[in-house]
Amino acid sequence: MKRIAILGSTGSVGTQTLDVIAAFPDRYSAHSLTANTQVDLLQRQISQFHPRTVAAADGDSADRLARGSGPPSVHAGVEGLIEAVTHPDVDMVISALPGSAGLVPTLKAIEAGKTIGLANKEILVMAGEIVMESARRNGVDILPVDSEHCAVHQCLAGQDPDRIERVILTASGGPFRNSDPAALERMSSKDALNHPTWNMGRKVTIDSATLMNKGFEVIEAHWLFDLPVSKIDVVIHPQSIIHSMVEMVDGSLLAQLGPTDMRIPIQYALSYPERLETPWPRFDITRNWSLTLDPPDEDMFPCLGLAYEASRRGATAPAVLSTADEMAVEAFLQHRIGFTDIPGIIADAMDRHAAAPDRPDRQDRPDRPEPVTLESIVAADRWTRAYCAKKLIAG
């Protein structure tokens, strides 16, 4: 029995992870569940899966849980999340909290020796060097849960890393792939949340519409597979059947195909290195499929280029990219800015942060080439939140 802790059990990946756990009750149990504000859903999950530990984002939510007929252990805040994922009985942590919220709990889980199923791209975007070094130091496996990196992980099995020519990440193109560029200014959050192929959380769905999600995946692949960003390309594949590809030096292309069902990569991570017979719908290869692959339009979707630029700058620039995107997406979902304002806010934050002479995380100055630390990343995150908040208020 593998005992699972889920950071973000009420989100899209969290609920689908519980689907997998429910499908294999003799193999997996939900030991720890955590949520932000969806306490009612968390209470229903408690009733069904009987976890030993739960954690909520704030004390009021934790008090509501403690008054129910829930588990013996209820915790609150960041310390509560850490308690949930570092419990001695936990074998594996599914890290699915969006944004920067999952960074510290995931690092603590790694330090506690827990296997990580990583669904939160921002963790490696913000702190890839620190996270991967900690995983190596503690002998911890980090298994990708998202479909693209799960596909690459499978394609690379048994391959010589020195014989990899490039990794090719596929992107659906989002709901605005065929839109007139001028029409993007008028697109609402409802339009952007109408993803053509995948059912995901709100934040990642908006990131998919801007292609920032794919930019995050480029940076994530750089750290997961120890490849330079110059060897990671993106193609638009609206059918979302090919989940990603690897090109070898001899010109061979290895690809992983399958249905658009997140439970498949989640199950892969939970069962790795085993493969279990899946109860999920199968991909029908005999249908008359039309598969297209096109280059991304970075003029129309500049967020992808911003991610490459942040990776080239290195140091704390990816952390600024991630936090500025989080702030801009939230403002868009609240109808405070337009869709096409998102990349401008991110680019401005990146440039202002690079030029700020007195910022507290000045770790990447040429005259002071200190290594990036968790403290510098947290400081960059704090600086970006303050700057973007002021920028958004000023309009």
Whole-number pLDDT of residue 178: 83
Band (367; pLDDT cuts 50, 70, 90): very low
Q: Over the stretch 314-347, which tens digit does the pLDDT of each residue have? A: 999 999 999 999 999 999 999 999 999 999 999 9
Share of the chain above pLDDT 70, in %: 94
Q: Is the pLDDT of residue 359 over 70?
A: no
Out of 4-13, 122-131, 134-143, 281-290, pick the least confident: 281-290
pLDDT band at 363 (very low <50, low <70, confident <90, very high): very low
pLDDT band per the 50, 70, 90 thresholds, residue 362: low
Predicted confidence band of residue 145 (pLDDT cuts 50, 70, 90): very high
In sequence order, which residues have a C-beta less than 8 Å from that of residue 40 and are 6 or more positions away? none
Residues 219 and 125 sit within 8 Å (Cβ to Cβ): yes
The residues pairing with 257 across neighbouring beta strands, listed in sequence order, are 242
User: Does residue 195 have a pLDDT over 80?
Assistant: no
Do the strands 53-56 and 73-76 form a parallel or antiparallel pair, or are they unpaired?
parallel
Give the mean pLDDT of 47-60. 89
Cis-peptide into 273, omega within 30 deg: yes
Q: How far is CA 130 from CA 2, 44, 134, 375, in A?
A: 27, 36, 6, 11
Look up the pTM and report it.
0.91
The pLDDT of residue 358 is: 53
Q: What is the pLDDT of residues 238-266, one digit of tens each?
A: 999 999 999 999 999 999 999 989 999 99
- Structural domains in the chain, CATH included, are 2-145 (3.40.50.720), 149-271 (no CATH), 314-394 (1.10.1740.10)
Q: Measuring CA to CA, how many Å separate 369 from each of 26, 186, 244, 309?
A: 51, 44, 36, 19
In this predicted structure, what is the pLDDT of residue 369?
46
Tens-place pLDDT, residues 205-216: 999 999 999 999
Detail the DSSP E strand segments found in 43-180: 53-56, 73-76, 92-95, 115-118, 142-144, 164-171
Average pLDDT estimate for 190-203: 80
Range with the poorest average pLDDT among 230-239, 274-283, 353-362: 353-362
d(CA 362, CA 379): 9
